[in-house]
Chains A and B, each alone.
Chain A
Amino acid sequence: MRNGNYNQTLNAGAQKTQSRRNLMSWLLTAPALIWLILFFLVPYFIVVIYSFLTPDIYDVQFEFSLEAYRQALNLQYLSTFFQSFRLAALTTLLCILLGFPVAYYIARAKDKVKNTLLVFIIIPFWTNLIIRIFSWRIFLSYNGVLNDLLMRSGLINQPLEIMRTDLAVLLVMVYVYLPYMILPLYSVLEKLDFTLLHAAMDLGANEIKAFFRITLPLAAEGIFAGSLLVFIPALGAYLIPQLVGNQRSLYLGQVITYKIKNIPRNWPMASALSLTLLVFVAILLVALFALYKRSKKLRRV
């Protein structure tokens, strides 16, 4: 009862400043908000609409059709999905296996060296993607540097056919996405208290046990973040399969691009495939976050 009196005066004043600040926030964020609604949200609605239309050679006809979704469930497209999924999964796995020791090495390096080592990881990451892919073409192609070296050293008689294989695609994918795994792993491992490891070893755990019991669980957050950064873009990869892969086994990114760019166009098909990918990614993200939250809760208990 005592409080009622001034609470009213107070709340009026506080609410006024609060609502003024809120209005200010709306005004400041409005340009970006409108921009993202117009050019990020609205386009997806159009994708949804297009996925229910009838294809034309150059454009779409505004006639309702479920044909695109029916086709998307064909074995041919399902295998495309599988192909892309396998590539993304293998890329992620190889990136973890290769990236972990590297991140670990940098994290344990002396402070002075650390930054230099990091720059070495970041330079390729900043280098234009196409150039990096192109450099692999030079390296791997039929009459490229690798084959040249191997032939000269007498190890092989015939040039190896590495370019334009799924193996080449995987190799370049790992090459391109490796920094995305190393950087988040590094930032987690850097914060890791290495005295914990020593403590564990003092308590009798050997190196391998200590690694699995302590380092790995603590680095799980980095692996999780890195995997997201690698797996999701890898699902939609276009450029790498296009430039180092072959046309016999197409990946999802290529199929979607062909449906939009090549004539005859099939925009409803491209839309349906894009939406399927989007839904898949959304489900994956929701599931992973639920899992992550639960594991965090478990660890806290």
Chain B
Amino acid sequence: MEEIRIENLTKDFDGFLAVDDVSLSINSGELFSFLGPSGCGKTTLLRMIAGFEIPAKGKILIGNTDITDLPPYKRQVNTIFQNYSLFPHMTVFDNVAFGLRIRKTPKLQIIERVKEMLSLVKMEDQANKYPDQISGGQKQRIAIVRALINQPKVLLLDEPLAALDLKLRQHMLIELMNIHDAVGITFIYVTHDQGEAMSISDRVAVMNHGKIVQSGPPDDIYERPASIFSAYFIGETNLITGEVIGIEENYVQLKCPDGAGNSLELDSTFNFPPYLGQELTLSLRPEKIAISRSKPRYQDDINVLKGTIEDILYLGSHTQYIVRVGALKFRVFSQHKRVYFDDKALDWDEPVWLFWHDTDSWLINQIPENVLSFNELADGGVNHYQRSSKRPYQA
């Protein structure tokens, strides 16, 4: 059943398009995420659903009622703010009871309901404390039940975990999922952390420049990115442009310049009808590439490249190699549990073979705007994006 429908929603701030003609629908009981870099419009979209921003154009419907022009206090929608926004002059109890008091709920019922909500997050014994006397995780829980006590149809969460440290964040993520299961209402979750979005959501909408770039279940977006942006914003990837030079039944042959005057011939399965001479981008996740001193014995349906190790980063759960092939740099993840093909560990400047199955790459019907930016993407650009997505909790 459809809970929220957004039609052609648009919002600008002094001419800057924050949200650009967005349409989508979210199902009842779904945990739906908006994922994108800061400034992509996801928070503005959320604030329009909450009623804090008035759309320039478009409609928002909950069930079948148009709520586009309703003030926030008349919407059956509640929000969890990034900094929790607990009222500092009220106790935990009074914070949670706030919504009920406005609705003039009888006193006994308030006490009962607040107790019930506090027990949901195991904080019954903190009822008389003030917000500055409880921890960040506890504030988060109070913010959630303060919203849920109003029995909203939709709960909006605006980067709710951004202020917590890593361990607590992982813990709260699971707790959020449990709460979602327990109350069964629609959650709309906004984040720039792909890990959060991937692990918690039923569906994710990736946003960039005010538009939804791609939406769907997390694995779909990860395995089958529809655009270069989705491919490099979510997870890490190698991007190689190439020209279609042959079309077979199950795969296409691509001729990819290596930037040093030569070209590589790569095979890949395809998901849209290609034509000869078409220019495409190949997205290849680093963990799908095998790395070895020796050539693979079986080479059917396998791409094989020869390169040189330029950098080795030991990352605990896996090692990242940067391997140079021509002028291209490939990022390769190698897990340690794997039985090594070689006796000795790989070393800097060693010649190595890279290989992967044809079905492990993904074609994107899009090429970077120019070769230069492509080179940046393949090298520094990817690096840059990955770095910022790994350390997203800057002030």
Q: Per-residue 0/1 for B108-135: is the Cβ within 8 Å of any A Cβ (1 yes, 0 no)? A: 0000000000000000000000000000
Most buried by A among B10, B15, B56, B57: B56
Asked if A3 CB lies within 8 Å of chain B CBs, one says yes
Decide if A7 touches B10 in the complex (CB within 8 Å). no
User: What residues on A are CB-neighbors of B57 within 8 Å?
Assistant: 5-6, 9-10
- The CA of A6 and the CA of B21, in the complex, are separated in Å by 11
Chain A residues lying within 8 Å of B56, measured Cβ to Cβ, are 6-7, 9-10
List chain A residues, Cβ under 8 A from B10.
6
Query: How long is the Cα–Cα vector from A3 to B16 in the complex, in angstroms?
Result: 10
**A13 within 8 A of partner (CB):** yes
Chain A residues with CB under 8 A of B12: 3, 6-7, 10
The 4 closest A-B pairs by CB, nearest first: A10-B56, A6-B57, A6-B56, A6-B10
Q: Mark A1-15, 1 if CB is under 8 A from B, else 0.
A: 001011101100110
Q: Which residues of B contact A6 (CB under 8 A)?
A: 10, 12, 56-57
Helix, strand, loop or mixed for chain B's interface? strand
18 contacts between A and B (CB under 8 A): A3-B12, A3-B15, A3-B17, A5-B57, A6-B10, A6-B12, A6-B56, A6-B57, A7-B12, A7-B15, A7-B56, A9-B57, A10-B11, A10-B12, A10-B56, A10-B57, A13-B54, A14-B54
Q: Is the interface of A mostly helix, strand, loop or mixed?
A: helix
Count class of interface residues, chain A: under 10
Which residue on chain B has the smallest CB distance to residue A14? B54
How far does the alpha carbon of A56 sit from the alpha carbon of B270 in the complex, in Å?
104
In whole angstroms, how far apart are the Cα atoms of A13 and B10 in the complex?
Answer: 14
A13 to B48, CA, bound (A): 15
A7 and B57 alpha carbons, distance in the complex (Å): 9
Chain B 3-32 interface 0/1 with A at a Cβ cutoff of 8 Å (1 = within): 000000011100101000000000000000
Residues of A within 8 A of B17 (CB): 3
B15 surroundings in chain A (CB, below 8 A): 3, 7
Least CB distance, B255 to chain A, in whole angstroms? 38
Complex Cα–Cα for A258 and B54 (A): 64
Q: How many Å lie between the Cα of A5 and that of B56 in the bound state?
A: 10
Min CB–CB distance A93 → chain B (angstroms): 43
> In chain B, what residue has the closest Cβ to A5?
B57
CA distance A255 to B15 in the complex (A): 61
Chain B residues positioned under 8 Å from A9 (CB to CB) = 56-57
Q: How far is the CA of A9 from the CA of B17 in the complex (A)?
A: 14
Encoded as 1 (CB less than 8 Å from any B CB) or 0, chain A from 46 to 73 comes to 0000000000000000000000000000
Question: Which residues of A lie under 8 Å from residue B11 when comparing CB positions?
Answer: 10
Report Cα–Cα, A6/B10, bound state, in Å.
8
